[in-house]
Amino acid sequence: MHLDGTAIWSGIATEAVAATIAGESAGYFGDGRYDIQFMDAFARARRAQADDFPPTLKLSLILGEYMADNYGKHYYAKAQNLSNDLAAAYDDMLADVGILALPTTPQTAYKRIDKEIAASISSTEA
């Protein structure tokens, strides 16, 4: 089930990010203190500078809204349930051992760029 972790996380994160941004970063049902000044500043910045959001955030927002609009919260809830199953599977594995050695990222690391090449790339972008 570990190999499904990224897909499970994506099902949660895309809708959660979209809802958090649309909700001015407030979230709901939190017992903690809400930073009203931050929320107001975030709301102004989101409306004035949404074009400056990174492409990955824009993709998450579009996908999260699409999923919510077309499927309600069905896949968000399914991913949340699967995340509980995944956590239980980890707990079961940890019952017999003290540590699990797992990859920390779901993809292979990029090849390292030579410092001279990196310097020439950054100097041409300036």
Q: Is the pLDDT of residue 48 over 70?
A: yes
Amino acid found at 53: F
Does 120 or 57 have the greater pLDDT score? Answer: 57
CB of 14 closer than 8 Å to CB of 60 = yes
pLDDT number for residue 122: 62
Does 125 or 112 have the greater pLDDT score? Answer: 112
Indicate the number of domains in the chain: 1
Q: Which of 24-33, 42-51, 78-87 has the highest mean pLDDT?
A: 78-87
Residue 90 lies in domain:
2-125
Does 41 or 115 have the greater pLDDT score? Answer: 41
Angle between helix 5-22 and 74-94 (nearest 10): 130
Distance from C-alpha of 61 to C-alpha of 25, rounded to nearest angstrom = 13
Distance from C-alpha of 107 to C-alpha of 57, rounded to nearest angstrom = 19
Angle between helix 5-22 and 55-71 (nearest 10): 90
